[in-house]
Amino acid sequence: MIEVSREKFEELVAEALDTIPSDLAGTMSNIVVTVVDDPPEPNLLGLYTGIPLTERGDWYSAVLPDRIEIYRNPICQICDTEEDVIEEVRITVVHEIGHHFGIDDARLHELGW
């Protein structure tokens, strides 16, 4: 377990978001990414809540943004070094963004995310 301040953790999430290729990031729509200390249920490192891009249709307007939450405490609990935290944050961010694009957990795990 390693302790990472909330401020530093938010920087790591921002850095992970910066690694998303610009052509892919440019297709992301109506989404917010936040850091939350603790998940609503055990064993979650991140959570996507919203309507994936693949399910949006002509009816999609005036909808609150999709939300990706990255959970600081569980990630820190499974990591031993700051490098581990950096890697786990990146994996978690990419995994949750995958859900925004309509990719399910099984496929994301197949892809290594």
- At 7, the pLDDT band (50, 70, 90 cuts) reads very high
Q: With cut-offs at 50, 70 and 90, classify the pLDDT of residue 40.
A: very high
Residues 50-101: pLDDT tens digits? Answer: 999 999 988 888 889 999 999 999 999 999 999 999 999 999 999 999 999 9
The domain that contains 16 carries what CATH number?
A: 3.30.2010.20
User: Which pLDDT score is estimated for 19?
Assistant: 93
**Pairwise CA distance, residues 96 & 88, whole Å:** 12
Q: What is the pLDDT of residue 86?
A: 97
The helix/strand/coil state of 36 is: strand
Residue 86: other Cβ atoms inside 10 A: 15
Domain presence at residue 1: no
CA neighbours closer than 13 Å in the CB half-sphere of residue 85: 24
CA–CA gap between residue 16 and residue 88 (Å, rounded): 10
Q: What is the pLDDT of residues 8-19, one digit of tens each?
A: 999 999 999 999
Q: How far apart are CA 68 and CA 83, in angstroms?
A: 22
Confidence of residue 37 (pLDDT cuts 50, 70, 90): very high
Confidence (pLDDT) at 112: 81
Total structural domains within the chain? 1
Would you say 13 and 70 are in contact if contact means Cβ atoms under 8 Å apart?
A: yes
Round to whole Å and give the CA distance between 56 and 42.
30
Give residue 37's domain range: 6-52+62-111
Query: Does any domain span residue 57?
Result: no
